[in-house]
Amino acid sequence: MEMVSHEKVGLMSGGFVWVKGLFAKLVEVASKTRALGKDDPRRVIHSLKLGLTLTIVSMLYYYKPLFANFGVSAMWAVMTVVVVFEFSVGATLGKGLNRAFATLFAGALGAGAHHLAALSGHVGQPIITSIFVFLLACILTFMRFFPSIKAKYDYGMMIGILTFSFVSISGVGDDEILLLLQKRVSTIFLGVCVCVVISISISPFWAGQDLHNRIALNIEKLALFFQGYGSVEYFKTLQDREAKDDKSIQAYKSILKSSGIEDTLYNFARWEPGHGCFQFRHPWKQYLKIGALTYQCAFRIDALHRNLSSSSFQVSQEIQTQIQEPCMEMSMETGKALRQLVSSIREMTQPTLAEIHTNNSKAAAKKLKASLKSSRLWENCDLLTLIPAANVGTLLVDVVDITEKIAEAVQELASLAHFKAAKPAEAAIQSEKEKVEPNIGVSFVTIPIGSG
Amino acid sequence: MEMVSHEKVGLMSGGFVWVKGLFAKLVEVASKTRALGKDDPRRVIHSLKLGLTLTIVSMLYYYKPLFANFGVSAMWAVMTVVVVFEFSVGATLGKGLNRAFATLFAGALGAGAHHLAALSGHVGQPIITSIFVFLLACILTFMRFFPSIKAKYDYGMMIGILTFSFVSISGVGDDEILLLLQKRVSTIFLGVCVCVVISISISPFWAGQDLHNRIALNIEKLALFFQGYGSVEYFKTLQDREAKDDKSIQAYKSILKSSGIEDTLYNFARWEPGHGCFQFRHPWKQYLKIGALTYQCAFRIDALHRNLSSSSFQVSQEIQTQIQEPCMEMSMETGKALRQLVSSIREMTQPTLAEIHTNNSKAAAKKLKASLKSSRLWENCDLLTLIPAANVGTLLVDVVDITEKIAEAVQELASLAHFKAAKPAEAAIQSEKEKVEPNIGVSFVTIPIGSG
């Protein structure tokens, strides 16, 4: 009796554990789902948009008058929606146009091949057709390896092979083939049109806008690093610095992890029509250039950060007092220059004020070099404690160079994309403030940043 | 008369220029094609394989007895080949299994939904069906955003939406639906099977093997850098060094450019069955760990290389003689350690000898630190000429640390994947050599390791 009841209890508690585990799993999935949606609410909107588009197209299927002469081919429209509807407008347009035109051209080619093969009689037809299919499949598959084709027409190549085989193999007469082709092309065009219209009309996600924002955000992350280091004393110990908001300082790390995304966005943005502040032939390629420079800057910043936060980093008081000021100044000014570039990109105005800050940081760099050269610094101090500090100095000088290159690239973007001039009023206020505020360092020019 | 003949000449020369331009373009495309094929001949083989598979499946279409009860549905097999046949076995298997099982499950679900909707009569059916389609499309589309699902089941999710809509919308009776579904599933399974069989049986390209080779190659590139720098005198001028084979030294740069490829290969390799020396559950994840460390090492090497090849890099004779030796030794030993790891990975043997070299380079690092500390070094020399040299030294020490981590990760891989022990004969020869060759450094510690 007892054993049986024991078993029962064991079974029940086992079941209870199982239910508990399932419940915990469900809660975990729910919280992950929530986090995913919260992280980027556009994901939820995209899912709803796709559901809506699919429903609309499948409703059309039920609405007989429209599809009466399409018949089963109407399914192609549904398929097209599922395959073509992508997150951004550019991706949807690219895939849609690829699908539509590849179907059109390869379909016509397939009809031609079918006609040619039919001429060779009942026995020869399969052989000739197979040779055609083999050749076209080989050529198009190999073409997909070309980087330039892969970037823009990869999907088109695949659909090309598909449609060509589909049409040329189909064992029906020439007239029927043309009808089949006509149905397929028109339903696919219909599907693509619905996708593009919904993608653009309901809360559109532009890859170009994304690329633009992303580049600005990445430069801002660099600025955060410099301003974070510029505002506190430079050679604080690790503990002191960790107390400060270290997260914003380390934001640059995300730049290093996601360098491929810009290329993808660029490939999508090229398909997009003019939208918002962007014209049709917006110089998207320039963003890649800025992105690459930003990556390089983050790369060096990482070395700088590793140096500053390494446990063996100790700097004597003497050195600190000597090189702290120019280091802080360089950091601060570079941060300000980068912030100017960010607001210039965000508001699409000419980055006129960034140059002042770049010049300031260059002046500070000169000062730092002079400090390092002066014999006062390295008298009576351990070389091993000097090296890390000097190291930080040289890395900073290096970073100032790259910031200048970024500023040049943004300037180039501004002239290529015809950014409007910065408001003269703001610039005036700016230069006014410069006169009033006293300079702190020798070559330290303070330029408070307006919203320009 | 003259004008007319002039025009003629102009027209002819214009035509000639056009033909010449076309010819030049053709030659360019041909040479690009050749380069692409030569760069990786597997591309040509892959194209031929796809052509062959497609031809086989389309031949089956003509061979009536097999397809008699499939009818037009046989097209699904052709489509499946075009969509599923990918470069590597893993990618083909992954896509094929996704397609086959997503079709099966979503088809069954769609048939159920169709049956349910049909219960609600002629008016209610379209509405109920649309609601089902909308809900499923939204949920599956959102699920595609989960990173873990995106990595393995992205394609399956898409095919799931497609098949579900396809089946549930189709305006036919329940019996017909089951027949349709059966045809669709069986043709798709057939297509996937042919793809997988051809992909594996004719010169298979395994993503796992690729990943394995790639990691070994990347470590070899690092080794090339160190051995390149270790063999020439360390602080040569830029010109001297450029004369030497600079290309092999800079091979590491390709590691920085292509960091995403390993993740892709990993995702494909997970689908692959055991092949060659790899068992089914080979620890592919460990390769990602080694890859990340390799990337970090290349990252630091880049800083080192930039330092050494910068135009402002001048080192006085005194410093050279002082720190040249330990630097060269560290470089050489690190290079040797990495080479050992490479051959250990390539031959799938335990990396027993790498540890000796890692220890040697650590010893040299200690020596370098001592040199930098000694006051002799920085008496009577310009600090600015000392800093770059010291910088190089600290970077080298940093790199030695990472090499040790790489060695540990490879060791871990060797024990996870049960690499066989290194041949005792080789180890004996090696330790023999160690004994004969005199130690160069002061604190050079030789640790002969058995074949454990």
With contacts defined as CB-CB under 8 Å, which chain B residues touch A372?
Answer: 383-384, 387
Dig out the tokens for A244 from the structure. Answer: 């400060």
**Interface residue A44 vs chain B (CB under 8 A):** yes
Give the pLDDT band of residue A312 (cuts 50, 70, 90): low
Residue carrying structure tokens 């579900």: B164
With contacts defined as CB-CB under 8 Å, which chain B residues touch A259?
Answer: 259
Give buried/exposed letters for A290-325 (b at 16+ CB in 10 A, else e).
bbebbbbbbbbbbbbbebbeeeebebeebbbebbbb
Interface touch B47/A161, C-beta < 8 Å? no
Give the minimum alpha-carbon distance from B293 to chain A in angstroms, rounded to a whole number. Answer: 14
The yes-or-no verdict on residue A440 having pLDDT over 70 is no
Give the pLDDT band of residue A369 (cuts 50, 70, 90): confident
**Interface residue A171 vs chain B (CB under 8 A):** yes
With contacts defined as CB-CB under 8 Å, which chain A residues touch B394?
Answer: 387-388, 391
Mean pLDDT of chain A: 79
Instruction: Kindly state the average pLDDT of the residues B35-41.
Output: 86
pTM of the model: 0.81
Give the pLDDT band of residue A434 (cuts 50, 70, 90): very low
- The pLDDT score that the predictor gives to residue B376 is 60
With contacts defined as CB-CB under 8 Å, which chain B residues touch A79?
Answer: 162, 166
- The pLDDT score that the predictor gives to residue B153 is 92
pLDDT digits (tens, 9 = 90+) for B150-172: 888 999 999 999 999 888 887 66
The segment with the largest mean pLDDT, out of A128-137, A176-185, B11-20, B253-262, is A128-137
Interface touch A55/B137, C-beta < 8 Å? yes
Dig out the tokens for B357 from the structure. Answer: 């070299």
The yes-or-no verdict on residue B198 having pLDDT over 90 is yes
With contacts defined as CB-CB under 8 Å, which chain B residues touch A82?
Answer: 137, 158, 161-162, 165
Cα–Cα nearest to A253, from A310, A297, A207, A312: A297
- The pLDDT score that the predictor gives to residue B438 is 37
Q: For residues B27 and B47, what is the distance between their CA atoms, to the nearest angstrom?
A: 22
Say if CB A173 and CB A15 are below 8 A apart: no
- The pLDDT score that the predictor gives to residue B443 is 31
- The pLDDT score that the predictor gives to residue B428 is 47
Q: For residues A238 and A252, what is the distance between their CA atoms, to the nearest angstrom?
A: 18
**B420: phi then psi, degrees, rounded to nearest 5:** -75, 160
Say if CB B368 and CB B397 are below 8 A apart: yes
Give the minimum alpha-carbon distance from B264 to chain A in angstroms, rounded to a whole number. Answer: 13
The yes-or-no verdict on residue A49 having pLDDT over 90 is yes
Give the minimum alpha-carbon distance from B5 to chain A in angstroms, rounded to a whole number. Answer: 42
Q: For residues A447 and A373, what is the distance between their CA atoms, to the nearest angstrom?
A: 29
Give buried/exposed letters for A64-89 (b at 16+ CB in 10 A, else e).
eeebeebeebbbbbbbbbbbbbbbbb
The yes-or-no verdict on residue B205 having pLDDT over 80 is yes
Residue carrying structure tokens 């899912």: A47
Q: Classify the complex by whether its ipTM is higher than 0.85, answering yes or no.
A: no
Give the minimum alpha-carbon distance from A409 to chain B in angstroms, rounded to a whole number. Answer: 21
Interface touch A43/B133, C-beta < 8 Å? no
**Interface residue B322 vs chain A (CB under 8 A):** no
Cα–Cα nearest to B347, from B291, B423, B271, B272: B423
The yes-or-no verdict on residue A275 having pLDDT over 90 is no
Q: For residues A181 and A104, what is the distance between their CA atoms, to the nearest angstrom?
A: 8
Give the minimum alpha-carbon distance from B162 to chain A in angstroms, rounded to a whole number. Answer: 6
Chain A, nearest residue to B135 by Cα: A51
